[in-house]
Structure 1
Amino acid sequence: MKAIVYEETGPSAVLKLRDRPLVDPGQDEVRVRLLVSGVNPTDWKSRSGGGSRKLDAPKVPNQDGAGVIDAVGAGVAGFGVGDRVWLWDVAWGGNEGTAQEYVTVPAGKVVPLPDGESFDAGASLGIPALTAHRALTSSEGGPSRLSPGALAGRTVLVTGGAGAVGHAAIQLARWAGASVITTVSGDHKAELARRAGAGTVINYRTDDVVRAVRDAAPDGVDTIVEVNAPANIEAGLEVLKPGGTISVYAANPGESLTVPIREGMTKNVRLQFILTYTVTDEQKQDAVAAVSGALEAGALRVGEDYGLPLTRFPLEETAAAHDAVEQGIVGKVLIDVAP
């Protein structure tokens, strides 16, 4: 089978197309014939490694993907050959990612993909949607698992609503019944955020964000899904309700956050840092179940019409796909694994 591998960390040039043998599934495993692989910032950052370093074994990049089950190992219940599925956290803690034609994974990392949903949608879930779910459920007293009505009466502010996590957060929050405000950096991104379902869209480069949020939510917002805490912390504390939560899910290497302590204390604010890989097993399973439910309900759609443009690359151009994500391309980058 064809696979993209790297034997040392570094720039995207370390990614090479190779032939690899198929691996049969073992106990409680399935093998998936991948059709689409999703690329996230975490994929290029892991590959980069902060510099050149020889690896102990070749590694296949990319956490997310979607395809069809090709073989089923002993002890697996609920799945069969030919089932359409999406995958999550495939490369985490191991060497096998989704930038290859087949991957053998624990059955617990495989989720049914509804017949009415595309493989593109399945490959776009994973890291973005599971991160968004944790951000939306990290409030004290809030739901641990989203479902229709779980956020009814609440207001969510999503900063960077045109990004993959922001897009998923808007869609999940709307599905769960919340009112959604989002910030973006331009007119095109504003239109994408509206297509995703945001009720109020604010251009942070031209608008007074605090005033605009207060106009939309005079009592403040309950939760902020935060993509750039260093730039937004002061405004966030101003618009947050007492007892509200700021969920921080992104940072640049070595980046620090200076928090106005008195302002945070006065409102009894919760500052929640999030890395989807290291949440508890219960939190991860709640996220997978909720995302699966939202997908089944048609609430997690991708593509230009739904606010998340797709940019595609063939498997052999995985390096270019990584570069596109690193350079901040708008929307979702997908790799067509199958010819």
Structure 2
Amino acid sequence: MRAAYITQLGSPDLIRHGELPPPVPGPHDVLVDVEVSAVNHVDTFVRSGAWRTPVEFPFVIGRDLVGTVAAAGPAATGFRVGDRVWCNSLGHDGRQGAAAEQAVVPVDRLYHLPDGVAPADAVALAHPAATAHLALFTHGGLRAGETVAVLGAAGNVGSALVVMAARAGARVIAVAAGRDEEYVRALGADHFVDYREGEVAGRIRAAAPGGVDVHVDTAGRNDLETAVDLLAGRGRIVVLAGLRTRPVLPVGALYLQDRSVRGFAISHADTAQLAGAARGVGGLLAAGLLRPRATEVLPLSEAGEAHRRLEEGKVTGKLVLRVRD
């Protein structure tokens, strides 16, 4: 089978495109004929070695896929040959990746693709939308009627956060560039703050004088001193980006108001958490309420170039690798 893979950790130049033996599913696995795979920042972290996780060489890169069931192990119930499916948790913790013509997926990490959803759209949203769901509900404990501040609201994760929070009955304060205001409001934001105009914290405070209940900074700047001051009593900051940031932590303001900072990485989510996120994402996809803003589809042979562009910050929207037509 054709695959994008590496034989050692390092730069994007080490990604090869060529033939590998097809994988063999175990009794609890499903063999998937892959149509498309997405390219995420975390994929570059694993490939380079910045994110330490067990890797067996040759290692197929990539985390997300959409495809069709080719075969299922005897204990892999719930899927039949020909079913359209998706997954967003390969390429980590000893699992081979998704950027190949075939992939083996543990049955508890595989989900049915809703009818009528384009494969490129689904795979583009698989990682950011699941991240957003976990941030808001699993770690943020969001409830209807609460107020959410989303920094980076026009990005891949940020836009999913806005949609999900609004659909859950929360009041959304979106922070992004002014050019994105119409887009972000259309997603469901109640208030918009243009970060380029300055005084971001003051304008968030004006929109939520009682404080925000959940604060998520998708850009990963993690100005915790400012963010904690914006929280309501028992408010939560969810940290999901900013691997190398070292912010000041205002301890007194945290414990005196029962506020909290909760960090998480989707790579550590268990299968029950991922399945819950998949149900939420799948429902929004099926209803047409969740769509990627911009998707660029490249052939599998350009996986190395896709990683290079992502690391250089030259990607707007989402890159998708077309594995087969």
Determine if contact 1:172/1:299 at 8 Å carries over to the other structure: no
**Corresponding position: 1:266 with 2:266:** no
Q: Does 1:10 find its partner at 2:10?
A: yes
In the TM superposition, what are the counterparts of 1:246-285 in structure 2 within 5 Å?
A: 246-252=237-243, 254-285=244-275
Q: 1:92 and 1:191 mapped to 2: Cα distance?
A: 37
Alpha-carbon distance in 2 for matches of 1:205, 1:234: 20
In 2 relative to 1, CA 196–334 (structure 1 residues): closer, same or farther, beyond 3 Å? farther
Could you list the structure 1 runs, at least 4 aligned residues long, displaced by more than 4 angstroms after superposition.
228-231
Cα pair 1:59 1:95 within 8 Å, conserved:
no
- Distance in 2 (CA, whole Å) between partners of 1:234 and 1:76 is 48
Local SS of the residue matching 1:125? helix
The offset of 1:17, in angstroms, is 0.5
Q: 2:214 aligns with which of 213, 223, 226?
A: 223
Report the Cα offset of residue 79 of structure 1: 1.2
Residue identity in the other structure for 1:266? L
- 1:179 pairs with 2:206: no
1:213 match: 204
Cα distance in 1, alignment partners of residues 174 and 240 from structure 2: 16
Letter in 2 for 1:104: V
**Residues 336 and 245 of structure 1, relative CA distance in 2, 3 Å threshold:** same
Cα pair 1:39 1:321 within 8 Å, conserved: yes
Percentage of pairs with the same residue: 33
TM-score normalised by the chain length of structure 2: 0.91
CA displacement 1:198-245 (0-9 Å, x = unmatched): 232212121321222123222221101223555532331222111000
2:306 corresponds in structure 1 to: 321
1:84 partner letter:
R
TM-superposed CA distance for 1:21, in Å, is: 2.4
Alignment match of 1:154 (pick from 133, 146, 159): 146
Look up the SS of the partner of 2:71 in the other structure: strand
Q: Which residue of 2 aligns with 1:147?
A: none
* Higher mean C-alpha deviation, range 230-239 or range 32-41: 230-239
Partner Cα distance (1:188, 1:154) in 2:
27
Matches for 1:1-339 after TM superposition, within 5 Å: 1-50=1-50, 56-138=56-138, 142=141, 151-184=143-176, 186-228=177-219, 230-252=221-243, 254-302=244-292, 308-328=293-313, 329-339=315-325
Separation in structure 2 between the aligned mates of residue 49 and residue 23 of structure 1, nearest angstrom: 24
Q: For the structure 1 residues 315 and 191, does the alpha-carbon distance in structure 2 shift closer, same or farther, using more than 3 Å as the test?
A: farther
Secondary structure at 1:120 match in 2: helix
| Distance in structure 2 (CA, Å) of the matches to 1:158 and 1:124 | 20
The CA deviation at 1:138 is: 4.5
Provide the C-alpha distance between the structure 1 equivalents of 2:72 and 2:271, rounded to a whole number of angstroms: 24
CA distance in 2, matches of 1:70, 1:265: 53
Letter in 2 for 1:133: H
- Distance 1:270-1:45 versus aligned 2 partners, 3 A rule: same
What TM-score does the superposition give when structure 1 sets the normalisation length?
0.87
Q: Can you list the C-alpha shifts for 1:87-142, whole angstroms capped at 9, x where unaligned?
A: 120112125211111111111111111112111222123332222112112467x3
Q: 1:191 to 1:48 in 2, by over 3 A?
A: farther
RMSD: 2.2
User: Contact 1:139/1:270 (CA < 8 Å) preserved in 2?
Assistant: no
Q: Which amino acid aligns with 1:179?
A: R
Corresponding residue SS for 1:244 = strand
The letter for the 1-side match of 2:76 is: V
The Cα offsets for residues 158-200 of structure 1, whole Å up to 9 and x where unpaired, read as 111122221221122122121211212x334444433433232
Change (3 A) 1:282 1:2: closer
Letter of the 1:271 counterpart: V
Q: Secondary structure at the match of 1:57?
A: coil
Letter in 1 for 2:286: E
**In 2 relative to 1, CA 231–285 (structure 1 residues): closer, same or farther, beyond 3 Å?**
closer
AA in 2 matched with 1:331: G
Would the alpha carbon gap of residues 156 and 37 (structure 1) be closer, same or farther in structure 2, given more than 3 Å must change? same
Distance 1:16 1:280, change over 3 A: closer
